[in-house]
């Protein structure tokens, strides 16, 4: 097979769906419903739109639900591994971590790397307002760096969403702003510069980062941050999930080399018809062709 490798794909196992409902997330982030999901149907969609392998991850709001974080992380990661094994070659796994519990997170990293053979880890932009550049998470990033891990960042509703979303689904624009906020925090805190062994994947074609990168770079000098903002942003990886054409992708390519772009569908939260339409547009512009090779290098699947 020579189909695409999808770095931005989600799974919603029954046990996670039940946890979402139990904690009042039956309309996660203002999304109308929790999408239906099964591994078999996901593979069928992949076949219809030309995707060979999908890296499964848990979407927003993540697994920090009440006091269930560590147990829920372990259960969804085991479920994800089961999908990988049962559908050989069709799935990979970006495992969930029970942040902000550092001790439990360190234990889950070890379990996932040593027993589940995961492809990387999926981190929400923040957990209870603790963003990824927070000093409390330094031991986690040091361990991910030691293991030369891949980290896929996924947005979630910002702490202030009740005042900023105006009753509209937060994935529309709040997710883009929170992605930008989280990545800027990672850069200005020095987390990116201190951990060159981590390959970070930023979703949705970099969100609004291309538009604010130069502004942040100048402010970093005023703040005496000691980091090279544009260099750090330029070495990150970016998926093209969402609707990056005809405008957003051109801006992103002023900031990163095309070798750092990767395909993303955002299925099942993005329905099949929209996945197919976005894929067709990427193909028409010639953007799609090199993405598989880019991702094979990133995931050591060559």
Question: pLDDT tens digit string along 159-199?
Answer: 999 999 999 999 999 999 999 999 999 999 999 999 999 99
CA angle (228 as vertex; 227, 233 as ends), nearest 5:
115
> Does position 1 have pLDDT exceeding 50, yes or no?
no
Report the relative pairing of strands 120-124 and 199-202 from DSSP bridges: unpaired
The residues, ordered by sequence, that sit 6+ positions from 108 with a Cβ below 8 Å of its Cβ are 70, 73, 74, 77, 95, 96, 97, 98
Angle at 148 between CA 122 and CA 151, to 5 degrees: 15
**Contact indicator for 267, 9 with CB cutoff of 8 Å:** yes
pLDDT of residue 59: 98
Mean pLDDT of all residues in 231-254? 96
Residue in the block written with tokens 């419903």: 33
The rounded percent of the chain whose pLDDT value lies above 70 is: 99
**pLDDT at residue number 40:** 98
Pinpoint the alpha helices (H) of the chain.
Answer: 14-22, 39-49, 69-86, 102-111, 138-146, 161-164, 174-188, 191-194, 209-222, 229-234, 248-252, 272-284, 291-298
**Mean pLDDT for all residues in the chain:** 96
Cα 128 from Cα 20, distance rounded (Å):
16
pLDDT at position 217 is 98
Question: How large is the average pLDDT for residues 54-64?
Answer: 97
Structural domains in the chain (count) = 1
Burial 142-158 (b: 16+ CB within 10 A, else e): bbbbebebbbbbbbbbb
Residue 301: band (very low, low, confident or very high) from pLDDT cuts 50, 70, 90:
low
User: Is residue 102 over pLDDT 90?
Assistant: yes
Cα-based distances in Å from 73 to 23, 167, 201, 255: 15, 30, 20, 34
CA distance 48 to 50: 6
CA distance 248 to 22: 37
* Arithmetic mean of pLDDT, 22-47: 96
The CATH number of whichever domain residue 94 belongs to comes to: 3.20.20.140
Provide CB contacts within 8 A for 59, sequence distance 6+. 10, 12, 28, 154, 269
CB atoms within 10 A of CB 2: 6
Beta bridge partners of 237: 201
pLDDT value of position 69: 85
- Which residue range forms the structural domain that includes residue 110? 4-298
Which residues in 107-170 belong to E strands, given as ranges?
Answer: 120-124, 126-127, 130-131, 150-154
Instruction: In whole angstroms, give the CA distance from residue 1 to residue 7.
Output: 17
Written as six digits, the tokens of 145 are 């760096």
């Amino acid at each position: 097979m020579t189909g695409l490798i999808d770095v931005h794909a989600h799974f919603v196992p029954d046990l996670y769906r039940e946890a979402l409902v139990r904690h009042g997330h039956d309309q996660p982030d203002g999304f109308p419903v929790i999408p239906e999901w099964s591994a078999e149907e996901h593979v069928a969609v992949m076949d219809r739109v030309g995707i060979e392998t999908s890296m499964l991850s848990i979407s927003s709001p993540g697994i920090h639900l009440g006091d269930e974080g560590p147990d829920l992380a372990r259960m969804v990661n085991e479920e994800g591994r089961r999908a990988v094994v049962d559908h050989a070659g069709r799935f990979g796994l970006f495992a969930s971590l029970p942040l902000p519990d550092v001790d439990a997170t360190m234990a889950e990293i070890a379990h996932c790397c040593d027993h589940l053979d995961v492809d990387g880890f999926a981190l929400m932009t923040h957990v209870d307002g603790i963003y990824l550049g927070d000093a409390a998470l330094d031991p986690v990033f040091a361990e991910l760096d030691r293991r030369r891990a891949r980290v896929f960042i996924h947005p979630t509703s910002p702490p202030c969403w009740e005042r900023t979303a105006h009753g509209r689904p937060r994935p529309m624009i709040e997710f883009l702003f929170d992605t930008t906020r989280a990545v800027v925090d990672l850069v200005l805190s020095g987390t990116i510069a201190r951990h060159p062994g981590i390959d970070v994947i930023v979703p949705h074609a970099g969100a609004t980062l291309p538009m604010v990168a130069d502004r942040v770079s100048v402010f970093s000098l005023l703040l005496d941050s000691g980091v090279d903002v544009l260099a750090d942003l330029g070495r990150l990886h970016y998926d093209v999930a969402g609707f990056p054409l005809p405008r957003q992708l051109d801006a992103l390519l002023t900031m990163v080399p095309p070798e750092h772009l990767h395909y993303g569908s955002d299925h099942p939260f993005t329905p099949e018809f929209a996945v197919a339409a976005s894929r067709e547009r990427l193909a028409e512009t010639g953007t799609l062709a090199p993405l598989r090779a880019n991702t094979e290098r990133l995931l050591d699947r060559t």
